[in-house]
């Protein structure tokens, strides 16, 4: 059996608001092998960022992890105390490139100091040593080491993004979560950042969990894809299978709705309606009000998890009979 | 470079373009310019330094034909939004002409308000109209804004938002009449049942529905020309296609012409007839959508196209070669000569052009039929 760096089992993260419970992440499970990258796709509000924050145990209140397991390197972090997570897990084992990274830097500290800070606190480096180490990481992400003395406002958007990536890498974690790492950037810079992530993935053998609404970016980087809809993973499998033979109606529709630059110009399709309110999701399959193939059973009962192949699973009644329900491989 | 510059007489310019494009011409921007002054420091004032400008739109020329969707594509900060806004006088142009074929009744209205406005062959020069006399033209020139969350007043009901332009322009005498127009506009953008949506507030709608209200507001006055400023960039992928199709449908139904502003070449290819690529305030290439993407000429266009990610698993683990160097310079300090030369890869392969590229700015020339490019590589001498 391959070694898993990350195992998520039946994870549930709910937000307890005055208006009711928002089921941001509802019963999500997946496993990630060492060096493997995962792309999480979905519309805004489907719970992808909540999932990312859960993995770091940084869910903002009133959100809370209410159930399930997150096993990183053999340790279940859901059961750990905050101080334990802080000293052992966060940034050392798993780190994150936050959404809108350009605003994630503190404007009153130099780039070098912000980069070096985790080394000072986690590893007890002296400030001088830490800055020297930070320079190495700046070089790794394709920046000149001299910028340790610069302030964030002196850098362009692409450079800031590189700094934030360097920051996520500095304690040498095995897993890096990248939440919409390129949305605020122009295409040319986006391509350069994607190249950088590819390079780091190869050289450092890290697992990147890429969270984005843009399926084309996932296609560039991920080995496996999880498509999320209304707090659930509706399809999970290797990139090639999910992109070339999508099984869930949502994945199919999503792939057909992206305008392409190359190839034939097909008429685009779209998904009618809007995503459900997660305080009060529709009964049965959560996608049924927008689904072309909705059947009677979809409206009544939640769909089963069907393993079409050991590594390709889908949450849909369409495959209820063909697939082997509930069993399958190690996934 | 000074702010003032000489323009040839309007008659000459208009005649030349009418000869070239013919009947179909709807709008022609000639050497349009929008420079924003930079505040000067005390030292600059005392030493009498010349004033400095951000050259957001720097002398661009293009034409739009009736019934087409014309696209402006470029990175953020290249001046595409400024161009759109300057064109319909939401910003005052610093220089240049904008000829627009207005409806005869609009021209009559304007002429009554202002005597010295330039009108010829049914074309009106928008830059010659006084800012306070522009109202009749607003009915014909509308805009869809980028941000559906920021562009609707949260304290207004949808019906009030849509009724406001009718009140401003005095359309529909009674409340019932106006309500009928509002409901029809809601139906046009497929917010059904319209009676229900009319009494909602913007916060009760999703992003896609809000953008439909934005579109309804633009079409309610029965315009001819709409500037669509990144109308889908803030929406989820799954509903983008729906909004694009809606815009296409309205275009056919009401004979609209769009200036579509986007940073996404794939969207541009899907919706547009012709695409213009902007870089740092200048148009560097114009061609029909397919021609531009299949056969790009300008080194910048080539780089842009190469950079677009594709949802194709085969490309994984391959590094993407983007033929471009460095980063976009500031629009306040535009490089001399061709403004793209510090980032140009083609320049390294053609050292014989170096002198020309670094000192003289290339004009936009017609390289092939209706394929325009501003690059010294394609100069036929």
Nearest by CB to residue B309, choosing from A189, A216, A254, is A216
Residue B265 confidence (pLDDT) above 60: yes
Position B223 confidence tier, pLDDT thresholds 50, 70, 90 = very high
Residue A194 and residue B306: Cβ atoms within 8 Å?
no
Contacts of B270 in chain A (CB under 8 A): 259, 265, 268
Residue A322 confidence (pLDDT) above 70: no
Rounded distance, CA B355 to CA B347, Å?
10
Least Cα distance to B30 among B100, B78, B133 occurs for: B100
Position B212 confidence tier, pLDDT thresholds 50, 70, 90 = very high
Residue B310 and residue A268: Cβ atoms within 8 Å?
no
B positions 158-187 inside 8 Å of A (CB): none
Interface test with A, best of B293, B316, B344 (most A CBs within 10 A): B316
Residue B314 confidence (pLDDT) above 80: no
- Tens digit of each residue's pLDDT (9 = 90 or more) over B71-118: 999 988 889 999 999 999 999 999 999 999 999 999 999 999 998 899
Residue A193 confidence (pLDDT) above 60: yes
Position B134 confidence tier, pLDDT thresholds 50, 70, 90 = very high
Question: What does the H/E/C string look like for chain B?
Answer: CCCCCCCCCHHHHHHHHHHHHHHHEEEEEEEEEEEEECCCCHHHHHCCCCCCEEEEEEEEEEEEECCCEEEEECCCCCCHHHHHHHHCCCCCCCEEEEEEECCHHHHHHHHHHCCCCCEECCEEEHHHCCHHHCHHHHCCEEEECCCCCCCCCCCCCHHHHHHHHHHHHCCCCCHHHHHHHHHHHHHHCCCCCHHHHHCCCHHHCCHHHHHHHHHHHHHCCCCCEEEEECCCCCCCHHHHHHHHHHHHHHHHHHCCEEEEEECCHHHHHHHCCEEEEEECCEEEEEEEHHHHHHCCCCHHHHHHHHHCCCCCHHHCCCCCCCCCCCCCCCCCCCCCCCCCHHHCCHHHHCHHHHHHHHHCCCCCEEEECCEEECCHHHCCC
> Average pLDDT in the A53-61 region?
90
Contacts of B313 in chain A (CB under 8 A): 219, 239-240, 243-244
pLDDT of residue A321: 58
Residue A1 confidence (pLDDT) above 60: no
Task: Return the sign of the alpha-carbon dihedral for residues A148, A150, A153, A156.
Answer: negative
Rounded distance, CA B140 to CA B122, Å?
14
Query: What's the mean pLDDT when you consider all of chain B?
Result: 90
- Higher-confidence residue of B52 and A323: namely B52
Residue B186 confidence (pLDDT) above 90: yes
Displacement of CA B206 from its chain's centroid (Å): 26
Residue B245 confidence (pLDDT) above 50: yes
- pTM of the prediction? 0.88
pLDDT of residue A323: 45
Any idea which of A99-103, A310-314, B149-153, B215-219 has the lowest mean pLDDT?
A99-103
Any idea which of A44-53, B85-94, B272-281 has the lowest mean pLDDT?
A44-53
Interface test with B, best of A186, A199, A201, A256 (most B CBs within 10 A): A186
- Tens digit of each residue's pLDDT (9 = 90 or more) over A228-281: 998 999 999 999 999 999 999 999 998 888 888 887 777 888 888 888 888 888
Give the pairing of strands A63-72 and A38-41: unpaired
Position B3 confidence tier, pLDDT thresholds 50, 70, 90 = low
Interface test with B, best of A191, A192, A240 (most B CBs within 10 A): A191
pLDDT of residue B2: 56
If you measure CA to CA, which chain B residue comes closest to A271? Answer: B238
Within an 8 Å CB–CB cutoff, is residue B291 touching chain A?
no
Least Cα distance to A67 among A13, A112, A114 occurs for: A13
Residue A191 and residue B242: Cβ atoms within 8 Å?
no
Residue B315 and residue A219: Cβ atoms within 8 Å?
yes
Rounded distance, CA B340 to CA A159, Å?
20
- Asked whether the beta carbons of B289 and B269 are under 8 A apart, the reply is yes
Rounded distance, CA B145 to CA A106, Å?
32
Nearest by CB to residue A261, choosing from B237, B293, B303, is B293
Residue B270 confidence (pLDDT) above 80: yes
Helix axes B237-254, B207-219, angle to 10 degrees: 20
Query: What's the mean pLDDT when you consider all of chain A?
Result: 87
């Amino acid at each position: 059996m391959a070694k898993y760096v990350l195992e998520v089992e039946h994870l549930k993260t709910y937000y307890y608001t005055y208006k009711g419970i928002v089921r941001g992440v509802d019963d999500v499970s997946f496993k990630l092998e060492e060096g493997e990258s995962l792309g999480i796709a979905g519309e805004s509000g489907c719970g992808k960022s909540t999932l990312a924050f859960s993995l770091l145990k940084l869910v903002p209140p009133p959100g809370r992890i209410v159930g399930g397991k997150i096993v990183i390197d053999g340790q279940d972090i859901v059961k750990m105390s905050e101080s334990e997570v802080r000293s052992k897990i966060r940034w050392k084992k798993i780190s994150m490139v936050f959404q809108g990274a350009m605003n994630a830097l503190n404007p009153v500290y130099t780039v070098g100091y912000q980069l070096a800070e985790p080394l000072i606190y986690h590893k007890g480096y002296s400030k001088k040593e830490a800055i020297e180490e930070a320079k190495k990481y700046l070089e790794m992400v394709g920046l000149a080491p001299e910028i340790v003395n610069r302030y964030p406002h002196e850098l362009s958007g692409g450079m800031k993004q590189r700094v934030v990536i360097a920051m996520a890498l500095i304690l040498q974690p095995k897993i890096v979560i990248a939440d919409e790492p390129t949305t605020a950037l122009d295409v040319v810079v986006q391509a350069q950042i994607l190249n950088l992530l590819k390079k780091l993935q190869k050289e450092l053998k890290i697992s990147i969990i890429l969270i984005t609404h843009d399926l084309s970016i996932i296609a560039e980087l991920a080995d496996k894809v999880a498509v999320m809809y209304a707090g659930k993973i509706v399809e999970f499998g290797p990139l090639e299978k999910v992109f070339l033979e999508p099984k869930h109606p949502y994945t199919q529709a999503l792939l057909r709705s992206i305008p392409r630059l190359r190839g034939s110009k097909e008429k685009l399709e779209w998904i009618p309606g809007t995503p459900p309110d997660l305080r009060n999701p529709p009964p049965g399959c959560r996608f049924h009000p927008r689904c072309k193939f909705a059947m009677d059973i979809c409206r009544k009962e939640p769909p089963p998890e069907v393993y079409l192949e050991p590594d390709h699973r889908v949450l849909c009644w369409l495959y209820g009979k063909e697939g082997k329900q509930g069993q399958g491989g190690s996934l | 470079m000074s702010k003032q510059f000489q323009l040839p007489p309007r008659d000459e310019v208009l005649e030349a373009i009418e000869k070239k494009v013919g009947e179909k011409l709807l709008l022609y921007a000639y050497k349009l310019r929008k420079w924003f002054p930079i505040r000067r420091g005390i030292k600059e004032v005392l030493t009498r330094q010349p004033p400095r400008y951000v050259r957001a739109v720097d002398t661009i020329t293009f034409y739009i034909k009736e019934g087409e969707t014309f696209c402006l594509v470029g990175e953020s900060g290249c001046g595409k939004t400024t161009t759109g806004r300057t064109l319909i006088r939401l910003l005052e142009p610093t220089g240049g002409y904008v000829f627009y074929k207005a409806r005869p009744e609009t021209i009559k209205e304007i002429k009554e308000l202002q005597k010295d406005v330039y009108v010829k062959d049914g074309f009106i020069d928008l830059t010659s109209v006084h800012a306070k006399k522009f109202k009749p033209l607003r009915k014909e020139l509308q805009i869809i804004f980028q941000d559906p969350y920021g562009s609707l007043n949260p304290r207004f009901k949808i019906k009030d938002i849509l009724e406001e332009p009718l009140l401003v322009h005095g359309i529909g005498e009674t409340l019932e009449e106006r309500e009928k127009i509002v409901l029809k506009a809601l139906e046009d953008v497929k917010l059904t049942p319209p009676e229900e949506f009319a009494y909602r507030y913007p916060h009760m709608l999703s992003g896609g529905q809000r953008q439909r209200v934005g579109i309804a507001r633009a079409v309610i006055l029965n315009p001819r020309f709409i500037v669509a400023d990144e109308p889908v960039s803030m929406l989820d992928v799954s509903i983008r296609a729906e909004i694009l199709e809606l815009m296409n449908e309205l275009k056919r139904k009401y004979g609209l012409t769009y200036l579509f502003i986007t940073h996404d070449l794939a969207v541009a290819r899907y919706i547009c007839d012709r695409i213009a690529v902007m870089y740092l305030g200048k148009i560097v290439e114009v061609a029909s959508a397919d021609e531009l993407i299949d056969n790009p000429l300008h080194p910048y266009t080539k780089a842009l196209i190469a950079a677009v990610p594709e949802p194709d698993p085969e490309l994984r683990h391959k590094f993407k070669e983007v033929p471009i160097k460095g980063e976009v310079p500031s629009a306040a300090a535009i490089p001399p000569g061709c403004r793209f030369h510090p980032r140009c890869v083609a320049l390294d392969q053609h050292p014989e052009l170096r002198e020309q590229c670094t000192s003289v700015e290339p004009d936009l020339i017609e390289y092939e039929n209706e394929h325009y490019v501003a690059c010294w590589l394609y100069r036929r001498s």
